A and B are shown apart, each in its own frame.
Chain A
Amino acid sequence: MSLFTTRYERASFFDEMFGASGEFRPHYRRLAERLDTLSEGEFNQRRAAVDLAFLRRGVTFTVYDNTEGTERIFPFDLLPRIIPAREWTRIEAGLIQRLTALNLFLHDIYHEQKILKDKVVPAAQVFSAKHFRREFMNFSVPRDVYVHICGSDLIRDHDGNYMVLEDNLRCPSGASYMIENRAAMRRAFPNLFESYRVRPVEGYAETLLKSLLHIAPAGCDHPNVVVLTPGVCNSAYFEHTFLARQMGVPIVEGRDLVVRNSCVYMRTIGGLVPVHVIYRRIDDDFLDPTVFRPDSVLGVPGLVGAYRSGNVSLANSIGTGVADDKVIYAYVPKMIRYYLDEDPILPNVKTYLASEPADRKFILENIGKLVVKSANEAGGYGMLIGPASTEAEIADFRAKVAAQPRNFIAQDPIQLSRAPTWCDGSLEGRHIDLRPYILHGEKITVTPGGLTRVALRRGSLVVNSSQGGGSKDTWVLQGDD
């Protein structure tokens, strides 16, 4: 299958597989050689087998606001994304540095607020953040860890530099796809793994469980851990069941839990069973109707009181969303310097804040050339890619930004790197990003791998699964080729 050199168009983007003069990058060479031995028929046979396996195993996600059915198979591309050890070492160090600073930031703004008093981050930006939880001021979270599970999105620019696009500090999803993608690849290309020395991602669930046990209330010999899901209608329900099964812990909905005397119990046919650690996949707003949204039926009344009393631990903690607000994101490099006295290893994308008058003027004048995002949306909802939008869409966003400046930021569009992707019978370059998973237990660890998302539509820069993105297995190598 010598499709690479003849028909593949590299264009001016950074290509993961090919260097500037069209040669294979060293860490892709053996993959290319292997693919060369396959006929197109054999390749398609493996693709079909993998797709069928995903369908059978129910590896799905849910799309909201869509009339053509909501549950989808996550499209999978058979060509892996490969990261050599020297690149990964830097990514890993950068992510650990970033999460360390973010945890210190969360502790600070919910306690002494030194960073605000020193005017490194404007207090107004924190106080006006949608997910700043005043209710948890002065509350000390178990073992001082706010974010136990973090998924930060990385992209590469046209020179191949890794940059952080956003942090996800509430309920980041996708780890289950990382593990399922690996299982699919192992079946499709068993021999390739042997020769390539790919680092395993399968330890994720075990490390996750350890991180959860780490925050169990003191004096608890056999802590019971559960996964709390909003239910089958949630877009990540597959993942909730998957992780619960992998960790060997029960999965529960809000109505399965009950609070008695500030302790949490699970209703079982054998009676009430105490619960000590909750890996909750429900947003703060819905967690406890007594404290947050009174109309929530997903949560557990009294849960926040039990958490406050120290009888149950939550991962992630409450109020972490303030630090992944896209306005606060712009200040993360400053946080790293402030708390750690280090230079950020992974840079941010240049960001303009509509709430700052000079930036706002710049955004309104150049909106057609920028990417505009709302401060608190995720999943690629509520954003504008200026260069790819119509006049009407641009005018609509300009009005929104002018009306509610605190809710919008703008960024320079980044020409995301591309990777060869199988599209309708040929290999074509498609834009990709990378979501690695960082766990904070006794120490911070980054699972070697992650979810590489790929924008399957030609020219598209939006990789979110809810917006027509697919994924690739992500290989982190022991060595550099």
Chain B
Amino acid sequence: MSGPTDRAPARMLLHLIHRTTFVYGGDARDSFNEVRLRPCDDENQACRQFSLRVSPESAVRDYTDFHGNTVHFFDVPEGHARLVIEAESEVETVPDASRAAPAPVGFDALAASPEREMQAEFLADSRYVPLAPEIWREVQDVLSGGRGDVWGDAVRLGRHIHSTFKYRPKTTGVTTTATDALKLRAGVCQDFAHVMLGMCRCAGLPARYVSGYFLNVDRLPGEVEASHAWVEVFVPGQGWLGFDPTHNRSSDERYIKVGVGRDYADISPVSGTYRGAPTLSLDVDVKVSQLNSLTAVPG
């Protein structure tokens, strides 16, 4: 990997706007919503600024959920014809060159790690990720040459998905599970992530879903700029390491993490209910840009 190694490289500063617009065919009312849109703070990134604007204006409260994600909630009781939720943030990310390279760790270390017991839920099936025989079989095919180290095996599984699945928007939806996507061998980032979660878990690797954004400089055909999803795998002694099966690479300074969960169900960006007129359109507009003049390290 290229990049300066003699001194600590500067951090990347990213700006992002995520605007969700609902348009109703008349009056909507008693609207209750939960959103997970605030980028988290961890060893690889810091959220410098965050604001959430809601129109019609309403009081926004927040709490921290089970996985440590920030959830904002608000309600709009009076009638309204459109609802706009706009999150704006500035996030500083640690350059890839400053992150520790994953060292090989064997499965014995994983089984013996003190965190192992508490990670049970990242090894079990979840709403979108059933641990079905066909996923297990896929794992056996990929790892038929024998097991390597924890991170190495996770990367092999991720690369396998990237090379045998087609990126194809509109073939899958919000109800598509990992087994559905495996059957189609196609989908979007969410499906790629779900399949990789299923394969990792079947291989005994604790894996969790990451919801976030990606500064996209080399877009895939048909890829729209929107929320992104990838996977983190637990490596003892090194913590959770990210891999993006859609773009076939480890997560680096271009990735902004909002939160984590067992799968999409735990961390959907916007969810809610309302009474009244039907939804005519739902428009999601995401813009990620770089604020400082660093050039991205080629992936």
Contacts and interface: CB of A to CB of B under 8 A. Distances in A.
Interface in A260-302: 260-262, 288-291, 294, 301-302
A127 B124 CA distance: 9
B266 A258 contact: no
A291 B63 CA distance: 13
Interface of B: 30, 32-34, 59, 61, 63-67, 73, 75, 77, 117-118, 120-121, 123-124, 266, 271-275
A258 B30 contact: yes
B32 A134 contact: no
Interface magnitude class on chain A: 20 to 34
A124 interface: yes
Contacts, number: 72
B65 A135 contact: yes
Given A117-B118, A127-B121, A305-B61, A134 B66 contact: yes
Nearest to A110: B66
A290 B33 contact: yes
27 contacts: A117-B118, A122-B117, A123-B118, A123-B120, A124-B123, A127-B120, A128-B121, A134-B66, A135-B66, A138-B64, A259-B32, A259-B75, A261-B59, A261-B75, A261-B77, A262-B61, A262-B75, A290-B32, A290-B33, A294-B271, A301-B30, A301-B32, A301-B75, A301-B273, A301-B275, A302-B30, A305-B32
A294 B273 contact: yes
A289 B65 contact: no
A222 interface: no
B226 to A, nearest CB: 22
Contact of B117 (A116, A137, A258, A290): A116
B266 A305 contact: no
Contacts of B33: 290
Contacts of B77: 258-261
From DSSP, what is the main secondary structure of chain A's interface residues? loop
A207 to B, nearest CB: 33
Contacts of A135: 65-66
B101 to A, nearest CB: 31
Contact of B65 (A119, A137, A258, A262): A137
Top-3 shortest CB links A-B: A124-B120, A134-B66, A127-B121
Given A122-B117, A128-B124, A305 B73 contact: yes
Interface string A96-125: 000000000000000001001101001110
A199 to B, nearest CB: 44
A290 B124 contact: no
Nearest to A290: B32
A308 interface: yes
B166 to A, nearest CB: 30
A289 B32 CA distance: 9
B266 A134 contact: yes
Contacts of B61: 262, 305, 309
A260 B29 CA distance: 11
Nearest to A258: B30
